[in-house]
Amino acid sequence: MTSTGKRRFVALFAVGALAASASACSSGGGDKKDNTAKPSAKTASVVIGTAADSKGPAAEVPGAKKGGVAGVLNRTGFSHLDPGRAYVSNLMTVSELISRRLTTYKREGDKTTLVGDLATDTGTTTDGGKTWKYTLKDNLKYEDGTPIVAADVKYGVERMFNKAWNEGPVWIQGWLTGSDKYWEAYPGPYEGAELPNDKIEVPDAKTIIFHLASPQGDFPFAAAMGTTAPMPKSKDTKEQIDTKPFASGPYKITTHEPDKQLILDKNPNWDPASDSVRHQYVDQFKFEMGIPGATQFQRLTAAAGSDAAAFTLNERPDANFAQQIATDPALKNRVTDGIGPYANRFDINNLRITDVNVRKAMAIAFPRQSARLAEGGPTAGDFSTTIASPTQLGYAPYKSLFDGLPPDGDQAKAKQMLEAAGKVGQKVVLCINTTKVQQERALPIMDMLGKAGFQMERKEISDKEYYDVIGKLDTPCDLYWAGWGADWPTGSTVYTPVYDSRQVLDNGQNYAKYKNPAVDAEIDRILKITDTNAQAVEWMKLDEKIMQDVPSIPYIYQRHRLVYGPQIGGAALNSKGAIDLNNIFIK
Amino acid sequence: MAASTDTTADQPTGKAETAKKAGAPARSDGSDAFLSVRDLRVHFSTDDGVVKAVDGLSFDVEKGRTLGIVGESGSGKSVSSLTILGLHNREKTKIEGEIRFDGRELITMPERKLRDLRGRRISMIFQDPLTALSPFYTVGEQIAESYRRHLGANRSDAHARAIEMLDRVGIPNPKTRVNDYPHHFSGGMRQRAMIAMSLVCDPDLLIADEPTTALDVTVQAQILDLLRDLQDEFGTAILFITHDLGVIAQMAHDVLVMYAGRSVEKGTVREVLKNPRHPYTWGLLSSMPNLSGDVDVPLRPVRGTPPSLLAPPPGCPFHPRCDYADVVGGERCRTEPPLLALSEGRGTACHLSAEDKQRIFIDDVRPLLG
Amino acid sequence: MLRFLVRRLLGVAAILLVVSLITFYLFFAASGEDSVVRLSCGKNCTPEMRETVRHNLGLTKPLLEQYWIFISGIFAGRNIGEKTCNFPCLGYSFANNQNVSHTVADRFPTTVSLAIGAVVLFMTLGIGLGILAAMRRGKKTDKVATGFALLSGSAPIYVLGPLFIYLFVQQLGWMDRPQYHQFTDDPFQWASGLLLPWICLMTIHMAMYVRLTRSTMVDVLSEDYVRTLKAKGLSGRSVYIKHAFRGALSPIVTVLGVDIGVLMSGTIITESTFSLHGIGMLAVTSVTDSDLPMMMGVVVIAASFTMLANLVVDLLYAVIDPRVRLS
């Protein structure tokens, strides 16, 4: 099983999260009412849709109107818009609007459904997931009016074999060749060769068949990533595609000035009848880049001028703004509320703290509530008890060691456990980076764990080196924050890299350095189940099994409260934790 | 006679009285001099008190004649000349007395009218021609500026006039030099340019404030020659201010010696230089080297330092430095300010009797002058 | 004058060469090949992309040769890997997949517009108030003008900027949020979009010019030649404006040169405060995006314009003060 892609994703997510923390400028206090506030974020669980679900046009959004310009504020520039290379939530969100792919997610209220996008359904397999066949819908066109054919989808996948572009998802490349080093099997189209028919077969203009090296029940999910976006060979401008992709969705790029602005105008050749998820309500999307988080909140709160019809793409509130949302009911009405794919946790170094009872005591003493205040209290997210995010297929909470525990932990109980284990005075090195949130969060952790009898030390790491340092086998750290966002909402992209002992290596993603041969065996067994729904149940059981060893302390399910202007309609969270661009309209 | 009150510093002179004088249709003493200054008092208020820079000064200048005002620095000679043109700092200065120019009272004249007079009928040249000329404009532009201002000439006429004036003051090659900047000129040339500038509108009165002090001796002589020639040519009245009696001897028809803001002696140049009657004039003369005389005669500068104008000594302001204060009987020199006794334009402000003055001059002073 | 100009231009070129060499050395040699590659490769860089970058940067060549390639590329253009980079080639940004000069050229008008408007405003108002204060020194006008200058000059842009936005855009709605429109598209939009930052910059920079104009004019007014001018019968206005202000121009131009240099090389804080994408913002993003070639380009451009501003100031000195005109 390849994992290169997952490594990328977590690294990218980490950079985003850290940068978000860096831009936060709160005093971190939060109000005391937080103590009693009930978690209110909604959960959207995924289902696999049918051909009927995949049929266009998309249901009209109630009250939606056509016309107008929607402004979108973003902190950074869009470094990759080539659909095969976009692999962070804001990039994927924009890319999904411009570039159609074989499958995609339809979000209706709390319900998320995987549906066919270019394809008539989410794909069919006759051999338990080894061969996947897709049929393209009718009347699919690019921005220049030329028809989208199956060979273009194949060429799009071929491009992504180019070794230099592996910052994008590489699931399909790996599954087709059965190798982590897929480029050795096929170096991509720029070396002149095509991918042979025994890998991808295009019998006619509307049919594409993938022959995988081994069965992969999750292929329909992988096909929702930009790897399967079509690319006509004649329009391939290689690197330039990354700044200006050739559009197949309802909007095309008219202007893209990197780090400055991106303007999307309607693509007149997009046929709404062929698309079950996207709309073409606004005339134009105008993305402004380089707007710091605090400025975004300030502008969108004031909603002066064109800001009334603007929204943040995926900027989560800092502690100050969280407070403002909590106290301003009018503002509350124009803030999304939902849980994204990210489940955050504190990893314990299982190579250094080997006694499970000591790890358990750490979890019980851990002041999750005080720590969360540094990032805005409940607005940041609800306390988590599982490794899985609530967005994961088959998510079901189980009885955890946090049941019945006060929100700020039970230090007395932890101390008893530590005494029983004979480990009072156990040294714990808390590693933090230099961002404000991590700095402030460290204080209560140091304090409360110290109270429970641990001998606490803290060590600071620079932002850029954070994941390098905690990823080292001989890292000097014992306790450190880590976030994980699954590529798609099943357990396949969670447990495999994060708790597989085969990932305990330098720069591996098993940051907890957790080794349990029984868990490894379970992972292998579950991956072989091709019925995705049955598999999901098994993943949840594995989740519970892993947590019995307390390799990590679950922290929060990241909540996404994204603010939008009063004239914006149809704003809701997508599966990436950003505002869904498909349904946006101007009131 | 108003003249009798000339040096009575202690006599109060109220504003009302000044106003009445200014408003009077004709002068009480009947003087019809071209420039006539009467009982001029210029007082500056400073943080430390009132400085009596000029304290009861009177003099006349006639057309075509030169009055030399001589005195140490700080004796009030420059202040008097600036006051004539109204160039003193009006906010901090209190002026009393009369300054009549061609029958018009200048002290009460509004700034606007005064401006029309400045540079047109009364002009002025200053000590340091380098700092007195703007470094940012050519010599020609600065000369022409005055001409255009007062005579409304156009640019090219004014330029031609500037060349003409430069030629007149003896600057070689005036057609090219007219476009030079002051820093291209030598010291003497600059002063010539300055003179050209001051005479460009053919003024009736020229005030020359130490015009040769900054120049070396040969250049100084040339400038004085030039001024004399120009005076002969234009008939200009000149008020010549200097600390140098040698220059006075060459330039002036009449002399006024100033000390501590007052005039202590006045008369024709011959009278004052050949037969000085005031101990201060004696001091000035004997501190001057005499090239034609005996080189062995020692120079005898006036002892002591000029008095503070904030708190001048009581009585005769010169008495602390005077060798003959004790010759006068009693404490008169220390208590009673001497008046400038005038007879036929000749006057001295000193308590010494005429006999004593004559005796001391012949016995003590003349031998020193060689 | 021509020789003076040529000599100064050669001097500028020499200094620019030294600046670029030092920068080049610091960026491309001092930190080692690996970090150069990492810092040139953009934010989300794979080992494979690093290889491409390493290959394209030509880091294996001796440093001086690399520098020569960089410098000659500016004038002659060059190929970087398979990318063509035409004159004036400042390098290739791997993070943005664009020629550095292309991006710089795109951002530069914003910075220039910001600078031009601000300079015009703060010079006019600053000098005007300064002259007024000097003419009425000690009086109410003077006290109001200098007091205002002291007050406005003490507020930093990151305080004043958000305050003005809050006040004028959000509360009063008098202006739009600062935005850059091309002058050639619509001069009115261009001006109205930048009005707020201009006013902000004006408020901040003006203080200096009020004080400077006032104090130098007061100094000049005590010069001997001003007395001469009055003795010539000139009116107050021509004494103040034609002569005294002329004398005060040199120090004003000196400060202006520094200010223009700073404004032209992109004021990072100003552009961030108003979310304007000029050279300053480009400098910030090139650092956060790990875009070393872009940083290099920005430094070269910023240094060039600072030098150019200094050169213009030197030439202006000669125009203003004839004593400086060396024969």
Choice among A25-39, A565-579, B218-232 with the minimum mean pLDDT: A25-39
| CA-wise closest residue to B159 among B173, B169, B148 | B148
Q: Per-residue pLDDT tens for A349-381?
A: 999 999 999 999 999 999 999 999 888 888 888
Q: C155 with C71, same domain?
A: no
Find, in chain A, the residue whose alpha carbon is nearest to that of C280.
Answer: A290
Tell whether the torsion through CA atoms of B12, B14, B17 and B19 is positive or negative: positive
Helix (H) or strand (E) holding C48: helix C47-57
Question: CA-to-CA distance for A5 and A113, rounded, in angstroms?
Answer: 23
Cβ contact, residue pair B135, C234, below 8 Å: no
Q: Is residue A90 part of a domain?
A: no
Give the CATH number of the domain where residue A438 resides.
3.10.105.10
Per-residue pLDDT at A569? 94
| B352: pLDDT strictly greater than 70 | yes
For residue C4, give how far its alpha carbon lies from the nearest alpha carbon of chain A (Å): 42
Helix (H) or strand (E) holding A266: strand A261-266
Give the confidence band of A5 by pLDDT, cuts at 50, 70, 90. Answer: very low
Q: C267 with C137, same domain?
A: yes
Q: What is the rounded average pLDDT of the residues A462-481?
A: 85
Q: Which chain C residues are closer than 8 Å to A259 by Cβ?
A: 96, 277, 281-282, 285, 289
Overall number of domains in chain C: 2
How many residue pairs from chains B and C have C-beta atoms closer than 8 A? 70
Q: C53 with C141, same domain?
A: no
Q: C203 with C311, same domain?
A: yes
Which amino acid does the sequence have at A474? D
- Identify the burial level of B31 via C-beta atoms within 10 angstroms of its C-beta, where 0-12 means exposed, 13-18 middle and 19 or more buried: middle
Q: What is the rounded average pLDDT of the residues A453-475?
A: 86
Q: Per-residue pLDDT tens for A379-397?
A: 888 999 999 988 888 888 9
Extended strands (E) in chain B? 35-46, 49-61, 66-70, 93-101, 104-105, 122-125, 205-209, 237-242, 254-259, 262-268, 340-343, 346-349
Choice among A81-95, B341-355, C234-248, C250-264 with the minimum mean pLDDT: B341-355
Overall number of domains in chain A: 1
Q: Is residue C298 part of a domain?
A: yes
- Identify the burial level of A354 via C-beta atoms within 10 angstroms of its C-beta, where 0-12 means exposed, 13-18 middle and 19 or more buried: exposed
Question: CA-to-CA distance for B109 and B106, rounded, in angstroms?
Answer: 5
Q: C35 with C141, same domain?
A: no
Interface of B with C (CB under 8 A): 82, 85, 87, 115-120, 123-124, 126, 128, 131-138, 145-146, 149-150, 181, 183, 194, 197
Cβ contacts of A328-331, under 8 Å, gap ≥ 24:
A331/A301, A331/A563
Structure pTM?
0.72
DSSP state string for B266-291: EEEHHHHHHS--SHHHHHHHHTS--T
| CA-wise closest residue to B65 among B255, B195, B197 | B255
Q: Per-residue pLDDT tens for C81-100?
A: 777 888 888 888 888 778 89
Q: C141 with C278, same domain?
A: yes
Q: Per-residue pLDDT tens for A67-93?
A: 999 999 998 888 889 999 988 888 999
Q: Which chain C residues are closer than 8 Å to A8 by Cβ?
A: 44, 46
Per-residue pLDDT at B9? 37
Helix (H) or strand (E) holding A113: strand A111-116
For residue C211, the enclosing domain spans: 101-320
Q: Per-residue pLDDT tens for A185-238?
A: 999 999 888 999 999 999 999 999 999 999 988 899 999 999 999 999 999 988
Give the confidence band of B87 by pLDDT, cuts at 50, 70, 90. Answer: confident
Choice among A117-121, A283-287, A482-486 with the minimum mean pLDDT: A482-486
Q: What is the rounded average pLDDT of the residues B201-227?
A: 88
Question: Does B touch A (3+ CB pairs < 8 Å)?
Answer: no
Per-residue pLDDT at A36? 33
Mind listing the domains of chain B with CATH numbers?
2-132+202-271 (3.40.50.300), 133-201 (no CATH), 276-369 (no CATH)
Q: Per-residue pLDDT tens for C141-199?
A: 888 888 887 787 778 888 888 888 888 887 887 887 888 888 888 899 899 889 999 99
Q: Per-residue pLDDT tens for B140-180?
A: 999 999 999 999 889 999 999 999 999 988 899 999 999 99
Per-residue pLDDT at A7? 34
Q: Is residue A260 part of a domain?
A: no
Q: Per-residue pLDDT tens for C248-257?
A: 888 898 888 8
Q: Is residue C94 part of a domain?
A: no
Q: Which stretches within C265-291 are classed as H helix?
A: 268-273, 279-288
Helix (H) or strand (E) holding A339: strand A339-348
Q: Is residue A587 part of a domain?
A: no
- Contact between residue C194 and residue C113 where contact means Cβ atoms under 8 Å apart: yes
Helices (H) and strands (E) in chain C, counts: 14, 4
Q: What is the rounded average pLDDT of the residues A12-38?
A: 33
For residue A533, the enclosing domain spans: 339-559
Helix C140-153 with C187-221: angle, nearest 10 deg: 120
Q: C23 with C163, same domain?
A: no
Q: Is residue A213 part of a domain?
A: no
**Mean model confidence pLDDT for chain B:** 82
Tokens standing for B337?
């300010």
Q: Which chain C residues are closer than 8 Å to A295 by Cβ?
A: 275
Q: Is residue C93 part of a domain?
A: no
Cβ contact, residue pair C48, A163, below 8 Å: yes
Cβ contact, residue pair B136, C228, below 8 Å: no
Report the residue from A163, A299, A304 with minimal CB separation from C173. Answer: A304
Question: CA-to-CA distance for C206 and C123, rounded, in angstroms?
Answer: 7
Q: C182 with C303, same domain?
A: yes
Could you tell me how far CA A211 lies from the centroid of its own chain?
27
Q: Which residue has the higher pLDDT, A274 or C20?
A: A274
Q: C9 with C72, same domain?
A: yes
Give the confidence band of C40 by pLDDT, cuts at 50, 70, 90. Answer: confident
Report the residue from C230, C235, C247 with minimal CB separation from B136. Answer: C247
Give the CATH number of the domain where residue C176 resides.
1.10.3720.10
Q: Is residue C164 part of a domain?
A: yes
For chain B, percent helix, then strand, then coil, each to nearest 5? 40, 20, 40
Q: Per-residue pLDDT tens for A381-438?
A: 899 999 998 888 888 899 999 998 999 999 999 999 999 999 999 999 999 987 788 8
Q: If you search the block for the tokens 């008190």, which residue do you land on?
A: B49
| B219: pLDDT strictly greater than 50 | yes
Give the confidence band of A45 by pLDDT, cuts at 50, 70, 90. Answer: low
- Dihedral-angle region of residue C6 (phi above 0 means left; psi in -120 to 50 means alpha; beta otherwise): alpha
Q: C134 with C16, same domain?
A: no
Q: C106 with C74, same domain?
A: no
| A26: pLDDT strictly greater than 70 | no
Q: Is residue C290 part of a domain?
A: yes
Helix (H) or strand (E) holding C102: helix C100-135
Per-residue pLDDT at A271? 95
Report the residue from B115, B135, B138 with minimal CB separation from C233. Answer: B115
Cβ contact, residue pair A165, C169, below 8 Å: no
Question: CA-to-CA distance for C177 and B108, rounded, in angstroms?
Answer: 59
Cβ contact, residue pair B149, C230, below 8 Å: no
| CA-wise closest residue to C13 among C221, C241, C216, C303 | C303
Q: Is residue C327 part of a domain?
A: no
Q: What is the rounded average pLDDT of the residues C103-127?
A: 91
| A95: pLDDT strictly greater than 90 | yes
Q: Which chain A residues are closer than 8 Å to C277 by Cβ?
A: 257, 259-261, 289-290
Interface test with C, best of B82, B136, B179 (most C CBs within 10 A): B136
Q: C130 with C235, same domain?
A: yes
Cβ contact, residue pair A243, C272, below 8 Å: no
Q: Is residue A255 part of a domain?
A: no
Q: What is the rounded average pLDDT of the residues A160-189?
A: 89
Q: Per-residue pLDDT tens for A534-574?
A: 888 999 999 999 999 999 999 999 989 999 999 999 999 88
Q: What is the rounded average pLDDT of the residues B187-196?
A: 89
